[in-house]
Amino acid sequence: MRRKIIAGNWKMNMTPSQAVALVNELKPLVANEEVDVVFCVPAIDIIPAMEAAKGSNINIGAENMHFEESGAYTGEISASMLTDVGVKYVVIGHSERREYFGETDETVNKKVLKALEHNITPIICCGETLTQREQGITIDFVRQQIKVAFLNVTAEQAKNTVIAYEPIWAIGTGKVATTEQAEEVCAAIRECIREIYDTDTAEAIRIQYGGSVSAASAPELFAQPNIDGGLVGGASLKPDFGKIVNYNK
Ligand code: PGA
């Protein structure tokens, strides 16, 4: 049985003081011993959010990191900087990073390798555009993203990664994929992992759905055999996130 992992992605929201207030507000609401809970927050919020989350089940993660160890990369954050303050999760290759900051499958792969080298669990994002879905190439496209993201990643390492399937047309649009659409692609991703590695690895890896997840849609989505939780944007900034984390109560 895979343990569910429910992660919030705050994106470019919340100042450090707002972050502390939000963690304090959500702390009692997201208590659920049966799932892993992660808040992926802006870099400047990581330390104050961690302080605020102390003694709770909330893990504080990052939204991005660079693939080099250190050096002349103005404005970037390294894996060692994250581990130095105790970060264990990082979102890699979110579609907004790909669209607005030129990230590619190749840079995603480099970041995944660097995160794993530092024992940080990458939450690796993939997902198709509306055009690709309408063209019927969703699964081919996502398989390619997965294959490149996992280049040179060992089976042992792959077991410690999380994949987030996020159809781009469902992100921030209120247009959640149907349960069938989400399960179909998550199952195809697991099959792709099985082809790259083996059944053991495919059964161990956790695959989230993301894109307009709400308290209303979470229970059915997370009950699917191949959906092991969610990556939640908008709703992770609200008390509703507590209901999503407690989808099984
Ligand atoms: P959303 O964002 O829940 O607001 O659609 C999801 C995401 O971008 O991870």
| DSSP at 62 | E
Q: Is the pLDDT of residue 37 over 90?
A: yes
Report whether residue 93 contacts ligand 1, using a CB cutoff of 6 Å: no
Q: Tell me, what's the pLDDT at 175?
A: 85
Q: Has this prediction a pTM greater than 0.85?
A: yes
Q: What confidence tier does 183 reach under pLDDT thresholds 50, 70, 90?
A: very high
The alpha helices in 54-178, defined as continuous H runs, are 79-84, 95-100, 105-117, 130-135, 138-149, 155-158
Q: Tell me, what's the pLDDT at 61?
A: 98
User: Across the chain, what does the average pLDDT equal?
Assistant: 97
Q: What confidence tier does 176 reach under pLDDT thresholds 50, 70, 90?
A: confident
Report whether residue 211 contacts ligand 1, using a CB cutoff of 6 Å: yes
Render pLDDT for 55-108 as a digit per residue (tens, 0 to 9): 999 999 999 999 999 999 999 999 999 999 999 999 999 999 999 999 999 999
Ligand 1 atom 7 nearest Cα: 233
Contact 202, 193 (CB under 8 A): yes
Phi, psi of 154 (to 5 degrees): -75, 165
| DSSP at 209 | E
Which residues are identified as catalytic? Answer: 94, 166
Q: How far is CA 178 from CA 18, 141, 209, 236, 246, in A?
A: 33, 19, 11, 20, 21
Render pLDDT for 109-165 as a digit per residue (tens, 0 to 9): 999 999 999 999 999 999 999 999 999 999 999 999 999 999 999 999 999 999 999
Report whether residue 63 contacts ligand 1, using a CB cutoff of 6 Å: no
Q: Tell me, what's the pLDDT at 174?
A: 86
Contact 188, 194 (CB under 8 A): no
